[in-house]
A and B are shown apart, each in its own frame.
Chain A
Amino acid sequence: MTGRASAHPQLALNVRLRDDSAFDNFLAARNAEAFDRVVAFAAGAPGPPGLLYLWGERGAGKTHLLEAACRDRHARGERCVYLPLADAGQFAPALLEELEQQALVCLDDLDAVAGERVWEAALFALIERAKASGARLLVAAAANPRHLGLVMPELRTRLGAGGVYQLHALNDDEKLSALGQRARQRGLELPAEVAHYILARHARDTHAVFALLDRLDRAALAAQRRLTIPFVRGFE
Chain B
Amino acid sequence: MGPSSLWNKCLIQLEEELTAQQFNTWIRPLQAVQDRHVLRLFAPNRFVHDWVKERFAERIASLAKQNHGEPCAISIEVGSLGAAAPVGLSPSPVPSGPASVRPAAGGFVGNLSPDHTFDTHIEGKSNQLARAAARQVGENPGGSYNPLFIYGGVGLGKTHLMHAAGNLMLERNPHTKIAYVHSERFVADMVKALQHNAINAFKKHYRSLDALLIDDIQFFSGKERSQEEFFHTFNALLEGQRQLIITADRFPKELTGMEERLRSRFGSGLTTSIDPPELETRVAILINKALLQGVVLSEDVAFFIARHVQSNVRELEGALCRVIASASFTGRPIDHELANESLRDLLAFRDRLVTINNIQKTVAEYYKIRVSDLHSKSRARQLARPRQMAMALSKELTSQSLPGIGDAFGGRDHTTVIHACRKVAELKTSDSRIKEDYSNLLRILGV
Contact = CB atoms under 8 A, between A and B. Distances in A.
A, B from the same assembly: yes
B404 interface: yes
Contacts of A132: 99, 111, 185
Contacts of A204: 399-402
A99 B44 CA distance: 6
Contact of B44 (A81, A143, A203): A81
A78 to B, nearest CB: 9
B347 A128 contact: no
B44 A101 contact: yes
A70 interface: yes
Contact of A164 (B80, B346, B403): B346
A71 B351 CA distance: 29
Nearest to B4: A77
Contacts of A202: 401
Nearest to B25: A82
B344 A166 contact: yes
Interface SS of B by simple majority: helix
A59 B399 CA distance: 9
Interface string A164-200: 1110010010000000000000000000000000001
Interface string B136-173: 00000000000000000111000000000000000000
A200 B330 contact: no
Contact of A143 (B80, B350, B401): B350
Given A94-B45, A132-B99, A202-B401, A164 B345 contact: yes
Nearest to A198: B401
A161 B403 contact: no
Interface string A138-157: 00001110110000011011
A70 B28 contact: yes
B16 interface: yes
Contacts, number: 162
Contacts of A101: 44, 80, 83, 96
A125 B223 CA distance: 15
B204 interface: no
A201 interface: yes
Contact of B404 (A70, A82, A143, A203): A203
Nearest to B48: A95
B20 interface: yes
Contacts of A71: 24
B422 interface: no
A138 B158 CA distance: 26
B399 A205 contact: yes
A97 B399 contact: no
9 contacts: A81-B28, A84-B21, A97-B44, A98-B45, A101-B44, A106-B24, A133-B99, A166-B344, A208-B399
Interface of B: 15-16, 20-21, 24-25, 28-29, 31, 44-48, 80, 83, 96, 99, 111, 153-155, 182, 184-185, 188, 216, 219, 249, 312, 314-315, 317-318, 321-322, 325-326, 329-330, 344-351, 395, 399-404, 414, 418
Given A128-B182, A201-B403, 12 more contacts: A79-B80, A98-B44, A102-B29, A125-B188, A146-B347, A156-B154, A157-B314, A160-B314, A160-B315, A160-B318, A161-B315, A164-B346
